[in-house]
Amino acid sequence: MELSPGLRIEAFTREFAGVFGMPDFVYAPETVTQGRRRRELSDGLLVVGQRGLILQSKSRHPGQQPDTADKAERWCHSEGADGMRQGRGTRRTMQQLQVPFTSVRGHRRLLPDSSSWPTVVIIWHPDMPTVEFPAEPDTLFMSLPDWSMLHRMIRSTSGVISYVERALASGIKVPLGHEQHRYQALAAGDLIAAYAVPGSVPGLRPFFPDDRTLRNAVIFEELLELAARAADVIGVDAYLRVLEALDRTPVEARSSIGATMKGVFEDMIRSNSAHCLYATGTPQTRLHLLYAIDASPALPAQLQAGIANFGKLRHLQAIEAGADPDSETLVVTRIHRPGGTDSVFFNLVSGPVTLFPAARAALEEFYKPHREPVWQATPAAPY
C-alpha cells in the first residue's frame, strides 16, 4: 500500500538518520492502547546508550491554491506547537509504560529512561517560510532540509543527539530553515577548543567533508558495519555497546584514524608482523586496533587469549593513569589471512580487571607503551 505524503516524510526522517548515522540507533514509532484510546508514540526515536531524541514530523502538501505568507507562517506555528505537545506526551507515556521499540536494523528491545530526551519537531512546508519559534527547554524546531544538513555534516547518531542537546543549552535562536547558522556558531567554538589541545579535532566540522576526508572516514566506518553484523554472535546488548563506542567518533577523527589504519595495515603486510594502533582517547572509550597475520581457518586459542589480555592491559594502564573507572577500552582486531577472508573481532573491556604480575610484565614487554592516540577528544565548547 502506498504511503500518504505525510507518512513518506516521517519515513524519510528516520531513513536519512539511519543512512548517515547507524540504523541500529533509529527506532520506528509504536502504537499503544491506553483505556479506549490508541496513540502513536513519536514519529521515530534516536537512541544511543542512555541518551535519545523524540522525533515529530509535520508536513504540508499543497492543494489547489498555494498558501499565502501569513497562512504558511500560521500553519508552521500551529503544527510546531502540536509536535511539541506530542513529543511531551510520548515522553510521559514512555515513562508510564514498558514499550519495546524496533530499530531500523530490525532488533526489538526495551529502551532506557526517556525522561530527559528532548523532542525535535521537523517541519516540511513547500514554501519554507522564515518562522521563528519561542525558545523551549525540551524542544528544537527545524526544517526537513535542516535535518538533512545536520546528518550530512555530523555522520553520527550520537553526534546528532549531542548537537541537539548543545543547541538547546546554547540559547542560540535561528529561524526555521536556518539551522546552519546555529551549527556554524557551535562549530566555531569547537574549532577554537581543538586548537588548544594538540592532536585533537573539533567535534563539529565547520565545513562539509571533502572527498579525501570521506574516503578515509569510510575506512573507519566499515568497522561499524562489521560490528553490526556481529549482533547474532555476541548479543544485541553487547554489539550495541561496541557500536556506541565507535559511533561517538566525529567525522574528522574518523578520517584521521582511517588514514592511519590504512598505513598500519600496509606496514603489517610489508613486515609480515603484528602491529597495534592507539586510535582514540576519549573520556568514555579508548579504541585500540590490533593487526595480525594468521593463515589458520579459525582463530587459535593462544591468539584469542592474547587479544583478551591486550585489552585488559591497556584498560588497566588507562585507569592507573587517571581515566574514569567507569570508562571502557575497545580492542578491534583484524586477522589478515593471505589468500582468504580477513576476520575482525571486537573485545570491550570495562569495570575492574586483574592480570597476574608475571603475565602483565610479559605483556608490557611485548606490547610497548603506546604512543599518543591518533585522535583525542576535547570538551564540547560552550557558546
The single-letter code of the amino acid at 231 is A
Antiparallel, parallel or unpaired: β 119-124 and 139-143: parallel
Q: What is the pLDDT of residues 83-139, one digit of tens each?
A: 999 999 999 999 999 999 999 999 999 999 999 999 999 999 988 888 999 999 999
Q: Strand ranges (DSSP E) for 24-146?
A: 26-27, 30-34, 37-41, 45-48, 51-59, 100-102, 108-110, 119-124, 139-143
pLDDT for residue 295: 65
Q: Judging by beta carbons within 10 Å of its beta carbon (0-12, 13-18, 19+), is residue 327 exposed, middle or buried?
A: middle
Euclidean distance between CA atoms 10 and 59, whole angstroms: 9
Who's near 239: CB < 8 A, 6+ residues apart?
Answer: 24, 227, 228, 230, 231, 346
Residue range 36-86, pLDDT digits in tens: 788 899 999 999 999 999 999 999 876 657 888 899 999 999 999 999 999
Q: What is the pLDDT of residue 379?
A: 60
Provide the pLDDT for residue 93: 94
Round the average pLDDT of the chain to a whole number and report it.
89
266-297 tens-digit pLDDT: 998 898 888 888 888 777 889 999 888 876 66
User: What is the share, in percent, of the chain residues with pLDDT greater than 90?
Assistant: 53
pLDDT for res 24: 95
Confidence of residue 381 (pLDDT cuts 50, 70, 90): low
- Give the separation between CA 88 and CA 86, rounded to whole angstroms: 5
Domain locations in the chain as residue ranges: 5-177, 211-376
Q: Which residue has the higher pLDDT, 27 or 208?
A: 27
Task: Round to whole Å and give the CA distance between 85 and 39.
Answer: 13
Specify the pLDDT at position 383.
44
For the stretch 191-205, pLDDT in tens is 888 888 777 788 898
